[in-house]
Amino acid sequence: MSETLPKMDPKDINWSSLGFGYMPTNSYVRTTWQDGKWSEPVLIKEPTITMYMAATCLHYGQAAFEGLKAFRQKDGKVRCLRPWENVKRMNLAADYMLAPAIPEELYIQMIQMVVKDNIEYVPPYGTGGALYIRPLLIGTGAQVGVSPSKMYDFLILVTPVGAYYKGGIQPVEALVLDDYDRAAPHGTGHVKFAGNYAASLKPSKIAKTQGYPITLFFDPKDHEFIDEFGTSNFFAISKEGHYVTPVSRSILHSITNMSLQDIAKDMDIPVELRPIHKAELADFAEVAACGTAVVITPISKIVTKDHTYTFGETCGPTLRKLYDRMTAIQHGDYPDTHNWMLEIK
């Protein structure tokens, strides 16, 4: 390989200045599906994989992934957020690309293995960082005809991360590019396929060259309804104080969004899941992107070809309450009343 990424000693990491990037750690964990069953998972020290040039993940897009985080909490223990929901979502993707399901027990076992083996890479409590966990399911069988692979690898890598967008909870501006769609109307937008993210790379680059760190996509059929941001779900706080988030066939089911809805209900904030027409942007008091990587990123402005919608230059009060409660649960500063956290043992 022309590029080598050195493994940093955890003692040399400046935890407070971590960005959202990849650095090699001690190991990743891997299992292979062949002859109708998954192999025993093993920890692998090298941060590389070897596969056939004709692997179906490379040619026909048989690749799905997940994202979740492990946190060093106030009591010193390490816990990760809602991995059971991630395995459900990954198995939805597996079913859609005709790959074998990952048993929940195996999935949790592998998370325990890889986080425990890289425990020193979990950022200290109070730094705002986390250990990002990336499960990946890929077709690795060799074939040149368009058909499902006969062999699959499921692996989980981990890497320490900080904030996805610099400035943390500071608002960012979003751009709508009507010439691009993230997913087809009856395509794969509702599952976490790697190809969905490839489709967002060019519009994201165009937006960034114009000074917008995030893109918002409207529905791919009519471009009349809000779908989601390029990297995360959309939700808003209406002027009546309701939590409003879109329903669409082409939106990824966000575990963070689902968790925030539960927190909103805990706070007696009404929750609305429904189609949202783009004209309703004028009726929202606060708007945000939400997801594993960003948690909540407030949106100060959304620019379309016809309108500019503004939502304030600082984080709104309801977004702040939701963010504070969510991060407090993640870091052990607030009781885990929903039993979301898995302790790493």
Q: Which residues are catalytic?
A: 192
CB contact at 8 A, 20 and 293: yes
d(CA 301, CA 309): 6
CB contact at 8 A, 119 and 78: yes
- What's the per-residue H, E or C state across 132-170? EEEEEEEECCECCCCCCCCCEEEEEEEEEECCCCCCCCC
Q: Which among 28, 39, 29 has a CA at the least distance from the CA of 151?
A: 39
Q: Which residues contact 101 (CB under 8 A, 6 or more apart)?
A: 91, 94, 95
Report which DSSP code applies to 225: B
CB contact at 8 A, 342 and 111: yes
d(CA 46, CA 28): 8
CB contact at 8 A, 140 and 52: yes
d(CA 181, CA 78): 39
d(CA 318, CA 331): 20
Reading the block at residue 72, the tokens are: 């060093």
Q: Which residues contact 248 (CB under 8 A, 6 or more apart)?
A: 189, 219, 225, 227, 228, 275
Q: Which among 241, 248, 251 has a CA at the least distance from the CA of 322?
A: 241
